[in-house]
């Protein structure tokens, strides 16, 4: 069975957590579910009941067919085709709807879907209101990213923008303090006041922030490093920055 390509109107998500989250938050967006014929355990039975309650068609398939469908064996025996045409969320929509000070994660040039998925998961855990990324020079929200996010792709708004520097200025105009994470910065993230509206901007591991992104930030801050490594994975760094903001606000 040849791998089914994702189209502009549909995409594939896989794994029990990601598909179950989609069924809970947006059941109408789940078009069909492919479930391994070998899964007859209690978890699969509970999942089938959830899908049937949502009125979603279940197709039983062999494991190797699911492997070919998504190009990986890490699907846990469940793959869903979902509607990808839902209305794009705009940055202004998020900023206008907040009932507390903004906490936003901005990713500049992250191209690994595993890193994006992990960042979404961290953002969800920290209660971030959105994850913002450029449309170009960055990975999209593909099946791998959704799988790694473990449901967070459907709970944290993922906003793609044509011009990242312009989006940062839009946040600044709305009163959001934009902080760029940079290893060479003089100030530690613990010394930055994050009790007000904040957007943390992080670049890809190795490359860091692009020049224009760096120049647009209100200030730069570093994560104190006490060992021999010079940098952290972007998802780890994101968690440190976001949870420091939460710590200060408590």
pLDDT tens string, the chain, 250 residues long: the values are 344 445 558 888 888 878 887 888 789 889 999 999 999 999 999 999 999 999 999 999 987 889 888 887 778 899 999 887 655 568 888 888 788 999 999 999 899 999 999 999 999 999 999 999 998 888 888 888 988 998 888 778 899 999 999 999 999 999 999 999 998 899 999 999 999 999 999 998 777 899 999 999 999 999 998 887 777 899 999 999 999 999 999 8
What domains can be seen in the chain, in order of their start residue?
Answer: 10-83 (3.30.1330.30), 91-249 (3.40.1280.10)
Q: Which residues of 87-125 are buried (b: 16+ CB within 10 A; e: fewer)?
A: eeeebeebbeeeeebbbbbbbbbbebbebbbbbbbbbbe
How far apart, in whole angstroms, are the C-alpha atoms of residue 204 and residue 194?
Answer: 22
At residue 1, the pLDDT reads 37
At residue 4, the pLDDT reads 46
CA distances (Å), origin 164, targets 6, 46, 62: 26, 42, 43
Three-state SS letters, the chain? CCCCCCCCCEEEEECHHHHHHHHHHCHHHEEEEEEECCCCCHHHHHHHHHHHHCCCCEEEECHHHHHHHHCCCCCCCEEEEEECCCCCCCHHHHHHHCCCCCEEEEEECCCCHHHHHHHHHHHHHHCCCEEEEECCCCCCCCHHHHHHHCCHHHCCCEEEECCHHHHHHHHHHCCCEEEEECCCCCCEHHHCCCCCCEEEEEEECCCECCHHHHHHCCEEEECCCCCCCCCCCHHHHHHHHHHHHHHHHC
Q: State yes or no: 141 annotated in a binding site.
A: no
CB of 151 within 8 A of CB of 176? no
Q: State yes or no: 223 annotated in a binding site.
A: yes
Q: State yes or no: 240 annotated in a binding site.
A: no
CB of 23 within 8 A of CB of 56? yes
């Amino acid at each position: 069975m040849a791998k089914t390509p994702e189209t502009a109107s549909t995409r594939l998500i896989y794994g029990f957590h990601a598909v179950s989250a989609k069924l809970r938050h947006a059941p109408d967006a789940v078009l069909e579910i492919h479930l391994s014929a070998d899964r007859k355990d209690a978890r699969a039975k509970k999942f089938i009941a959830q899908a049937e309650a949502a009125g979603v068609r279940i197709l039983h398939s062999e494991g190797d067919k699911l492997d070919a469908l998504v190009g990986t064996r890490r699907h846990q025996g469940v793959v869903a085709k979902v509607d990808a045409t839902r209305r794009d969320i705009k940055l202004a929509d998020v900023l206008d709807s907040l009932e507390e000070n903004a906490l936003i994660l901005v990713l500049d040039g992250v191209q690994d879907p595993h890193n994006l998925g992990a960042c979404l998961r961290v953002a969800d855990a920290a209660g971030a209101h959105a994850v913002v990324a450029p449309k170009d020079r960055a990975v999209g929200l593909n099946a791998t990213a959704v799988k790694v996010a473990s449901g967070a792709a459907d709970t944290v708004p993922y906003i793609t923008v044509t011009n990242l520097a312009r989006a940062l200025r839009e946040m600044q105009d709305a009163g959001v303090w934009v902080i760029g994470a940079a290893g060479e910065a003089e100030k530690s993230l613990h010394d930055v006041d994050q009790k007000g509206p904040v957007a943390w901007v992080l670049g890809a591991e190795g490359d860091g922030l692009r020049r224009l992104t760096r120049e647009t930030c209100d200030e730069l801050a570093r994560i104190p490093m006490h060992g021999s490594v010079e940098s952290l994975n972007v998802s780890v760094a994101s968690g440190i920055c976001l949870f420091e903001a939460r710590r200060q606000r408590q």
